[in-house]
């Protein structure tokens, strides 16, 4: 030990030591190989996985949000469409109701008109019939009465009806 | 070992620590491969490998504490030293930078770890090895990237400089790229560790020696120890910083070799 120290008095600390140079190189290379093959790839893997996990999560959230927005838009659209539809249905129904009422009214009016017309016609016909029967009956009665009064037979048909007609015409004119 | 020194110097008063304190006897006979620094270097390789293999084994998305610790260190080298300095090609160099950083850091910190207490990098051979590797790496990258002719030409005749300036610039550039850079890289690390260890030895051994002196000296001794402890914390800072600087400069040199213009 002592002798080493004495010999070492002249050792320059800046001079390399062969054994240490070799060992240093080997040790460093060894460490380099271990770290490069075992450690760096694993850390990189962890970093990549983490980045992906974070990015993936963010992307997933973004996608979900987009999806939700799309659904909301769709619902609002559908809702407004349904509202429009209901509105138009109501309008249709109202229009239809109005039309139906209108139609019924015209129909009823027509019916009423027809009934009135029919009544008029039947009244007219009966009146005509009454007039006709009256005319003959009044004629007969009048002739009978006249013949009784005059005493003259008015059996001659043609003359009789001419007399009645004249009589009736006079009646009408006097009316 | 120190006690042996003191014995050898018995009666001769305090022997100040010197570069001799950096020389260790062999564990087995005279084998140069069985000394403390060599043991420490292998120990560091073993410890770093075990720690990082365990930390990275699961590569979980939600990391355990161990994985988080390993990832923090790796992420620091990868992002702050690799990505931010080298740029888009950085991933190729991350394993090297990472190894460099943790190797230097661990061996430096050995300087203040109880029982080990020796910064391996204060033996100049180890920084030499690392500096040579960095030297070879960045020149190799530059040559492969730009072709040997353009690479050498750009170093010797920096583009965009008046011709007259080459008289001054060319020798400086050549010296920078082929001598200064690797040499300062190695010596900066070595000298910091060497000086730091020597400083700690001065205060700790000095305090120890004072304790053996007369009563007055005994009273001063605690101050020496306190200073030694304070300096230990300071050394920790220096040890981390030197590991960082070595790796940072390596990254800068690589980035420079990758860039088209120097």
Q: Which DSSP string corresponds to B167-198?
A: HHHHHHHHHIIIIIHHHHHHHHHHHHHHHHHH
Is position B16 within any domain? no
**Quick one: average pLDDT of A9-32?**
88
What sign has the CA pseudo-torsion A54, A58, A61, A67?
Answer: negative
Is position A113 within any domain? yes
Q: From CA A30, how far away is CA B43, in angstroms rounded?
A: 12
Residue whose C-alpha is closest to residue B125's, from A34, A11, A33: A11
Domain range for A112 is 15-174
Is position B153 within any domain? yes
Q: From CA B113, how far away is CA A136, in angstroms rounded?
A: 159
Contact B134, B185 (CB under 8 A): yes
Q: Which residues of A touch B (CB under 8 A)?
A: 1-2, 4-5, 8-9, 11, 13-21, 23-25, 27-28, 30-32, 34-36, 38-40, 42-43, 45-47, 49-50, 53
DSSP state of A31: H
pLDDT of residue A133: 85
Is position A37 within any domain? yes
**Beta-carbon contacts of residue B218 (< 8 Å; ≥ 6 apart):** B210, B211
pLDDT band at residue A150 under the 50/70/90 scheme: low
Which of B23, B70, B129 shows the shortest C-beta gap to A21?
A: B129
**Quick one: average pLDDT of A165-172?**
79
Domain range for B80 is 22-258
Is position B4 within any domain? no
Q: From CA B139, how far away is CA B147, in angstroms rounded?
A: 11
Is position A2 within any domain? no
> What 3-state class would DSSP assign to B148?
helix
Contact between chains at B59 and A32 (C-beta distance less than 8 A): no
pLDDT of residue A170: 81
> What 3-state class would DSSP assign to B234?
helix
Q: Looking at CA atoms only, how far is residue B250 from chain A in angstroms?
A: 15
Is position B125 within any domain? yes
Which of A14, A27, A31 shows the shortest C-beta gap to B124?
A: A14
> What 3-state class would DSSP assign to B214?
coil
Give the residue on A whose Cα is nearest the Cα of B36: A20
The structure tokens 């001079």 sit at: A15
Number of domains chain A contains: 1
Is position B127 within any domain? yes
Residues in A touching B10 (Cβ below 8 Å): none
Residues in A touching B52 (Cβ below 8 Å): 34-35, 38-39
Contact B105, B243 (CB under 8 A): yes
Q: From CA B75, how far away is CA B47, in angstroms rounded?
A: 19
Is position B74 within any domain? yes
Is position B7 within any domain? no
Is position A8 within any domain? no
User: Is pLDDT of A108 > 80?
Assistant: yes
Contact between chains at B99 and A31 (C-beta distance less than 8 A): yes
pLDDT along chain B (262 residues), means of 10: 43 74 83 88 95 92 91 94 91 95 96 92 94 95 90 86 88 92 95 94 89 83 91 95 96 89 52
Number of domains chain B contains: 1
Is position A59 within any domain? yes
pLDDT of residue B164: 87
Which of B25, B96, B129 shows the shortest C-beta gap to A24?
A: B129
Helix axes A40-150, B94-109, angle to 10 degrees: 130
Phi, psi of A64 (to 5 degrees): -60, -40
């Amino acid at each position: 030990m002592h002798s080493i120290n004495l010999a070492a008095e002249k050792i320059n600390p800046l001079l390399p030591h062969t054994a240490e140079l070799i060992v240093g190189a080997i040790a460093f290379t060894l460490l380099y190989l271990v770290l490069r093959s075992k450690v760096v790839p694993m850390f990189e893997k962890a970093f990549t996985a983490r980045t992906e996990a974070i990015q993936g999560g963010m992307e997933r959230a973004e996608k979900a949000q987009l999806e939700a927005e799309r659904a909301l838009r769709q619902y609002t659209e559908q809702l407004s469409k349904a509202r429009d539809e209901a509105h138009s249905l109501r309008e249709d129904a109202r229009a239809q109701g109005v039309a139906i009422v209108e139609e019924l009214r015209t129909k009823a009016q027509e019916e009423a008109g027809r009934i009135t017309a029919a009544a008029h016609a039947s009244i007219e016909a009966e009146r005509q019939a009454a007039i006709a029967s009256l005319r003959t009956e009044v004629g007969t009665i009048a002739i009978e009465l006249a013949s009784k009064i005059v005493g003259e037979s008015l059996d001659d048909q043609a003359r009789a009806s001419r007399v009645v007609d004249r009589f009736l015409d006079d009646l009408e004119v006097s009316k | 070992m120190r006690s042996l020194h003191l014995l050898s110097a018995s009666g001769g008063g305090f022997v100040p620590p010197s570069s001799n304190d950096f020389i260790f006897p062999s564990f087995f006979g005279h084998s140069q491969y069985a000394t403390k620094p060599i043991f420490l270097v292998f120990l560091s390789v073993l410890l770093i490998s075990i720690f990082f293999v365990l930390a990275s084994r699961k590569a979980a998305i939600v990391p355990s504490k161990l994985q988080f610790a390993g990832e923090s260190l790796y992420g620091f080298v990868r992002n702050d030293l690799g990505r931010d300095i080298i740029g888009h090609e950085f991933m190729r160099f991350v394993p090297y930078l990472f190894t460099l950083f943790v190797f230097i850091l661990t061996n430096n910190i050995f300087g203040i770890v109880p029982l080990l207490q020796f910064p391996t990098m204060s033996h100049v051979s180890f920084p030499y090895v690392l500096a040579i590797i960095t030297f070879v790496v960045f020149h190799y990258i530059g040559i492969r990237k730009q072709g040997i002719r353009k690479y050498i030409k750009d170093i010797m005749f920096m583009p965009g400089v008046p011709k007259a300036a080459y008289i001054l610039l060319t020798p400086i550039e050549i010296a920078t790229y082929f001598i200064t850079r690797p040499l300062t890289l190695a010596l900066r690390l070595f000298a910091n560790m060497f000086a730091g260890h020597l400083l700690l030895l001065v205060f700790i051994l000095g305090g120890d020696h004072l304790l053996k002196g007369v009563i007055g000296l005994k009273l001063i001794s605690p101050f020496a120890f306190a200073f030694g402890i304070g300096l230990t914390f300071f050394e920790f800072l220096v040890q981390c910083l030197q590991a960082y600087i070595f790796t940072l400069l390596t990254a800068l040199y690589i980035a420079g070799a990758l860039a088209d213009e120097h």
